[in-house]
Chain A
């Protein structure tokens, strides 16, 4: 037997209580795994936002459109390198639960604006020569088993085609990959010119512009110049950095980061109380045994270490299982069928999880351990 074996022997006392406490810790760390992945998913747009990219949208709301004529005017503003239009299409593929972000874009401008979208040159060429052509991110292409040459029907919810009906049919000419793990590979992009010609209404209008600027340090000046330029026009603009816009999107459902931190704090506080209660009960029940350990020569510090070691071992085993299980489950991908396109366990959160495990083990065990340490041997031996 080793000292660790002696610590672990404490687990054999009340197995049901131990299993229930362990399960509570496992569930807490499962929840932790999912919540950090959700937080990352909401934060993703902000994290990957290009420092030199800005968005120009209608000053009232992003659902208000802007004239296509603004593109040339924006490009003339000092400090702007390029501008490209984007619109929210919002169609349905097969089933309304299949959430896919679809945008009509100008292929060359868009790929230049978002170099993190990696499309092979031959596929790019095919897209440029195919008016009904579309490209899809690797994640959704794999998910729906699309391959190049497939015809992809998208059901319109807003933008119905001119020729009647509600279905737009695109030819898949390319599949792009992301330069980074965080790059969104769930988008479906088709040509703006094809969309412009064939939509029933809204000609000459687009959703918003993505612009690239020369100097990110001058973003505030550029934004003011653009917004001032359009301030008296029928479609006044609001220009902001891509990160701020992504944050604005995320904030539409509330401050997700704060909500998640609040939920996790509550969960871990409850778990702390549960584990503390288990350890405190365990120490109370073993008072005489702790007295025996002291009587045979264990010092106060060693008794403290034994009890603290027990709570730490419980937290490490159960928390480790919870974290590993959570990591494996989150790695299965987005559980929302497309609403959270980037859904993964951020590796740096493993360290946070490990720190939480150690913190939980120490914090829940410290008071019972001090209580055990302070026991007078003679008194402890008397309590049979």
Chain B
């Protein structure tokens, strides 16, 4: 295990939410096997805002995918909120994602034929809620991101910043334990990006959401409580805010 990470993590008072031990991930590129993650160890505390930085190919997005349950490690374990998600079946993993993870994408990934409200409602279709309850949750999530008045607009009728806010509303509408954001400001100008970062920071500080954000932008990473720099599938340095 990486000592620097353990010691840094132990300085936090909050309990551990996610724990990765000896995680390996390989990809095959033609005849060559690429080791994207090399025995990675990581602990994530509940209520933490963690930024992941590093050059392309360093393993940031792969790590995010493992935390989201979108991919499985070739070796090692991924435990989140007391559950070994690397041992779940595909179906169980899908249900686990629906309940515990909110994803924010760089290019928003909204369904173009659905209104903002319906895009936000998508994850709720999997929950045992009535139509009225779903509507209530959607209104609340849109209110949190300040877009109640744009509920009926289609994505193409919204600006990039507004679309990303809808994406964030979709991530929080199920009251997910973990918000995972993959370069959420990567497609936005600085001012709009700052608005999105304010929103994520607010979710972390005011609503206690645990957030992991992949970014190339030091300005964005500065908003996080802790920043990990990754190189060649391992954490090279760690900085606390």
| Chain A contact residues, CB within 8 Å of chain B | 1-3, 5-6, 9-10, 12-13, 288-289, 291-302, 377-378, 381, 384
Contact = CB atoms under 8 A, between A and B. Distances in A.
20 contacts: A1-B114, A1-B121, A6-B122, A291-B109, A295-B97, A295-B103, A295-B109, A296-B123, A296-B126, A297-B99, A298-B126, A299-B94, A300-B90, A300-B94, A302-B126, A377-B70, A377-B71, A378-B70, A378-B71, A381-B105
Contacts of A2: 125, 131
Given A1-B118, A296-B122, A9 B111 contact: yes
Interface in B119-162: 121-123, 125-126, 131, 134
B70 A384 contact: no
B201 interface: no
Interface residues of B, number: 28
Given A295-B70, A296-B97, A288 B109 contact: yes
Interface string B88-114: 001100110111000101010101111
A200 B134 CA distance: 88
B94 A298 contact: yes
Contacts of A6: 122, 125
A378 B25 CA distance: 14
B67 interface: no
Contacts, number: 70
B68 interface: yes
Given A13-B112, A289-B111, 15 more contacts: A5-B118, A6-B122, A10-B113, A12-B113, A292-B122, A295-B68, A296-B170, A297-B94, A297-B95, A300-B94, A302-B94, A378-B65, A378-B70, A378-B71, A381-B109
A interface, by DSSP: helix, strand, loop or mixed? helix
Given A292-B111, A378-B71, A297 B65 contact: no
B91 to A, nearest CB: 5
Among B97, B125, B134, which residue has the most Cβ atoms of chain A within 10 A? B125
Among A1, A2, A5, A378, which residue has the most Cβ atoms of chain B within 10 A? A1
A10 B114 CA distance: 10
Contacts of B107: 384
A294 B123 CA distance: 10
A296 B98 contact: yes
A384 B97 CA distance: 22
Nearest to A297: B98
A302 B126 CA distance: 10
A302 B125 CA distance: 11
Given A378-B65, A378-B71, A292 B109 contact: yes
A20 B111 CA distance: 24
Given A378-B65, A378-B70, A13 B121 contact: no
A295 B102 CA distance: 9
Interface string B35-75: 00000000000000000000000000000010010110000
A150 B52 CA distance: 98
A279 to B, nearest CB: 16
A261 to B, nearest CB: 40
Contacts of B121: 1
B114 A300 contact: no
B43 to A, nearest CB: 24
B125 A3 contact: yes
A291 B103 CA distance: 12
Contacts of B99: 297
A105 B90 CA distance: 78
B91 A301 contact: yes
A10 B170 CA distance: 20
A1 B125 contact: yes
Nearest to A8: B113
A300 to B, nearest CB: 6
Nearest to A291: B109
Contacts of A12: 113
Contacts of A13: 112-113
